[in-house]
Chain A
Amino acid sequence: MTLVLFVEQVLNGLQFGIMLFLMAAGLTLVFGVMGLINLAHGSLYMIGAFAAAAAAGWTGSFLLALIAALGAAAAAGAIVELVVIRRLYDRDHLDQVLATFALILIFSEGTRWAFGSFPLFLDIPDYLSGTITLPGGIEYPLYRLTITLAGLAIAAGLFWLISRTRLGIRIRAGESDREMIAALGVNISRLYTIVFALGAALAGLAGAMVGAIQSVQVGMGEPVLILAFVVIVIGGIGSIKGALIGALMVGLTDTMGKLFLPQLFRLFMDNASATATGSALASMLIYILMAFVLIWRPQGLFGARA
């Protein structure tokens, strides 16, 4: 156990957390503003990754692939909002869960029908491949560092958007009192479409950036969706700040748990069972974290409503 390994794992935890934030931000915005539970958010992540893989295959450019991911996910989000979600705002959460679950199945089988059952190829561009040496002799993959910084920049932009722009004021107003801002003459249904497309675009971007180092395949969004729900429950539903803090907590807890727990158990167990027990407990750690946060603050860290 060296300092270099520790710092590298902190960076890995940050990178994981930032990617989770991009997923969770859209989910928490949609829930906060519209009161809608969107299970199909993971499908938008998958659409971003597939659009990026297809665009990278045609053009060979990673930047164009990212733009395609943003565009495709935002367009899919807007269409879904206009066609399906719009009818669900007044329904209870069970109807929303059922309808958006149906969307997961439609998107998964639709993607499989369009792109086939075999995983697609999406690789990081040459100029971002390999490692760089950070101060202190830490070798770290350049691509992971880049997406961490890009994710932080997007988070900063999102905070600026919410706190400093007219759209942001409307989003915040929509969160606190939906009827009132409609009465004040704000086109609420257009605002909803914009918020939904924005959340979808962030998920699609995360899918494309992560797809380049993972696998682009049908069903890739659902495991991330579960983690994103953990994040927004920890952070407080509806809070962007909570989503950021929650995502970083989940990212760091998961990464550090995988590193330290097996070593901790090795102090008093034999190697093989320490590995098995430690790994099993490490995979539960974020849910244990969630449970403790909920005991301490049932509304989540930054949640306004209980």
Chain B
Amino acid sequence: MKLKTLMAAAGIAALGSMSVADGHASNVKVGMITTLSGGGAGLGIDVRDGFLLAVKMSGNDHIEVVVEDDQRKPDIAVQLADKMIQSEKVDVLTGIIWSNLAMAVVPAATAQGKFYLSPNAGPSALAGKGCHPLYFNVAWQNDNLHEAAGGYANSAGFKNSFILAPNYPAGQDALTGYKRIYEGGLAGEIFTQLGQKDYAAELAQIRASDADSVFFFLPGGMGISFLKQYADSGIDLPVVGPAFSFDQGILQAVGDAAMGVKNTSQWSKDIDNAANAAFVAAFQEEYGRLPSLYASQGYDTANLLLSAMAQADVSDADAFRAALAAAEFDSVRGDFEFASNQHPVQDIYVREVIKEGDVFTNRILGVALEDHGNVYAADCSM
């Protein structure tokens, strides 16, 4: 399926020429490659909707966004990137959800002199030795939320965690990230198959172990399956995990099985600042659903880009890069700045799953890690 959206805020241009005419009038063309069909489409749709909402709210008519669907396939993402760079002549690329797709697209795009702003994927390879002046990650480095889960485990007094994640690079990073901060012992460590839906065998091992807590990283449908089966297994240990299994898109499918589970996220809809309140209200009004953390990342990515456009011309790469690195925008996360490898330094929160009326959502319990950067910055020579 081919989906192409051309977004030009033409209506606002008629009355907005005074408000935007502050010098930098050159247009920026953005190529968004994201996942809009297939099993992982919910994430890409949220990133796209968040991004387009920010563009629409800014009323800036010097930005044009071309959206294409990568179908979660690296080869298609590479083709789309080539097309966007060569025939669409975009200035900035963004949108990729999955780390394996990012690894296929980002190094080639930055080598061709295009800016890449990542609204989600943050593989360690692009944060350390593979960092690049034109690559910015607006979401997190992959390890961050898992490190925060480890931090929460320490403060909750867990001494013997059972940890599991799928056997692929992001899954291995997840367990590494958790163990980097977590100080207790391990009751067990399991790598599951990527895409696995039945966790009976793992649950039996958790039951047979003497664990006092469970940490898991199972994004998307894997997490739904795990949580439902965990709730039905009669195991009564506290569970902690990154927000990927508890985002707004999938909580309704998990239902009561997720109630009260602690999860770590850099964003939550109840972070108390004006930018976030405006974002949550506008997103609900525009799309009729609550935003997820992916939507917040898309929204922040667009606002970062808009803030740089206000200060510099995209054709002047050095000035534009400096304007991006300054990150002078009102993030929905509150304080936000870039580390030396252009990945966020931000607070990561512990949230709890609650029910508001009929809707399952999250509430902040506290800060797990304050002003948290990433360990790979030391390997990045830029």
Which of A's residues lie within 8 Å of B, judged by CB? 2, 4-5, 8-9, 12, 15-16, 108-109, 112, 117-121, 123-124, 129-131, 139, 141, 143-144, 210, 212-220, 223, 255, 258-259, 262, 271-272, 275-276, 279-280, 283
Q: Could you say which residues of chain A place their CB within 8 Å of the CB of B234?
A: 130-131, 139, 141
Q: Could you say which residues of chain B place their CB within 8 Å of the CB of A276?
A: 167, 172, 191
The answer, among A16, A123, A283, for a CB contact under 8 Å with B198, is A16
The answer, among B1, B208, B225, B256, for a CB contact under 8 Å with A109, is B1
Q: Mind listing 27 A-B residue pairs with CB under 8 Å?
A: A5-B204, A5-B207, A12-B198, A109-B1, A109-B37, A112-B37, A118-B252, A119-B42, A121-B252, A124-B228, A130-B232, A141-B233, A143-B232, A210-B198, A213-B225, A213-B228, A215-B228, A215-B253, A216-B253, A218-B41, A220-B221, A255-B201, A258-B202, A259-B204, A275-B190, A279-B167, A283-B167
Give me 15 other A-B pairs in contact (C-beta within 8 A), A4-B208, A141-B233 excluded: A5-B205, A118-B249, A119-B42, A129-B232, A139-B207, A141-B232, A213-B229, A214-B224, A214-B229, A215-B220, A215-B253, A217-B39, A219-B39, A271-B189, A275-B191
Q: Could you say which residues of chain A place their CB within 8 Å of the CB of B228?
A: 123-124, 212-215
How near does chain A come to B48, taking the closest CB pair, in angstroms? 11
The 4 residue pairs across chains A and B that have the minimum distance between CB atoms: A215-B224, A12-B200, A119-B253, A215-B221
The answer, among A119, A220, A279, for a CB contact under 8 Å with B191, is A279
**CB-based contact B190/A118 at 8 Å:** no
Q: Could you say which residues of chain A place their CB within 8 Å of the CB of B205?
A: 5, 259
The answer, among B37, B193, B197, B200, for a CB contact under 8 Å with A220, is B197
Interface SS majority for chain B: helix
- Docked Cα-Cα span, A280 to B190, in Å, equals 11
How near does chain B come to A105, taking the closest CB pair, in angstroms? 9
Q: Could you say which residues of chain B place their CB within 8 Å of the CB of A271?
A: 189
Q: Could you say which residues of chain B place their CB within 8 Å of the CB of A262?
A: 190
Does residue B96 face the partner (Cβ distance < 8 Å to A)?
Answer: no
A-B contact count (CB 8 A): 127
Q: Could you say which residues of chain A place their CB within 8 Å of the CB of B11?
A: none
**Nearest chain A residue, comparing its CB with the CB of B222:** A215
**CB-based contact A218/B200 at 8 Å:** no
Q: Could you say which residues of chain B place their CB within 8 Å of the CB of A119?
A: 42, 220-221, 224, 249-250, 253
**CB-based contact A8/B204 at 8 Å:** yes
Q: Could you say which residues of chain A place their CB within 8 Å of the CB of B256?
A: 123
Question: Which B159-202 residues have a C-beta within 8 angstroms of A?
Answer: 167, 172, 189-193, 195, 197-198, 200-202
- Docked Cα-Cα span, A218 to B72, in Å, equals 13
Does residue B255 face the partner (Cβ distance < 8 Å to A)?
Answer: yes
- Docked Cα-Cα span, A223 to B225, in Å, equals 14
Q: Which of B1, B221, B232, B233: most chain A CB closer than 10 A?
A: B232
Does residue B23 face the partner (Cβ distance < 8 Å to A)?
Answer: no
**Nearest chain A residue, comparing its CB with the CB of B247:** A118
How near does chain A come to B361, taking the closest CB pair, in angstroms? 14
